[in-house]
Amino acid sequence: MAQVPLRNLAGEDMGTVEVSDAVFGAPLNEALVHQAVVRLLANLRLGTHKTKTRGAVSGGGAKPWRQKGTGRARQGSRVSPLWRGGGTVFGPMPHSYRQDMPKKMRQSALRCGLSARQQEGAILAVDAFSLSEPRTKTMLGSFQALDLNGTVLVVDEAFDENARLASRNLPRVQLKDATSLNLLDVLGPDHLVFSRAALQAVERRLTTGDAGAGGEA
């Protein structure tokens, strides 16, 4: 069984917590992780880009000049793609970039990501992530006690209102429910902080196939 260091929010060492090798000790499949990351990034794209074809550009009803006798090349419309301000040929149009991936592949990629971060020593467990008051200073004090520098992802089974209010003014801190954790969340931050309950929830999700409410690996 893999071991994750365990502390409390005061920074005191509380030993280690055992985690499943199937989730936090899986072999790395780089091709699968790459495919899963490309899919997640593609699904974030809105696909609302649009250019105007010559039929959508205003104007163009009158011929710029007569067909013959001017010495210039013949032109039929000012909205021709050859003209400045004219239509665009084969420009981007609104469409969906969404990609699908089987659930088992998504879960396997997330296991690979968690295992890689565990091998890096980026994962830390806390006994419970609950604050007595909704103060940003209190949360910063906890991170300083835990010696966390850089970007931090905090994962819990369910956050209380104090934690959400205390973190909303911290741009380098993100809170994430265990049921909605995905591969981009895992690979991005410098540190991953899991509560005991979150570790158990992630293990259940990735070993029993339960994606949770609205979760996407």
- The domain locations on the chain are 2-42+101-208, 46-96
Q: Which amino acid is at 151?
A: T
- Which fold, 2-42+101-208? Ribosomal Protein L4; Chain: A; (3.40.1370)
Q: Is the pLDDT of residue 134 over 70?
A: yes
Buried b or exposed e, range 176-206, using 16+ CB within 10 angstroms? bbbbebbbebbbebebbbbbbbbbbbbbbbb
103: left (phi over 0), alpha (psi -120 to 50) or beta: alpha
pTM, full prediction: 0.84
From the CB of residue 11, how many other CB atoms can be counted at a distance below 10 Å?
A: 15
As a whole-number percent, the residues of the chain with pLDDT over 90 amount to 86
Q: Is the pLDDT of residue 214 over 50?
A: no
- What would the mean pLDDT of 72-91 be, rounded to a whole number? 95
Q: Is the pLDDT of residue 179 over 80?
A: yes
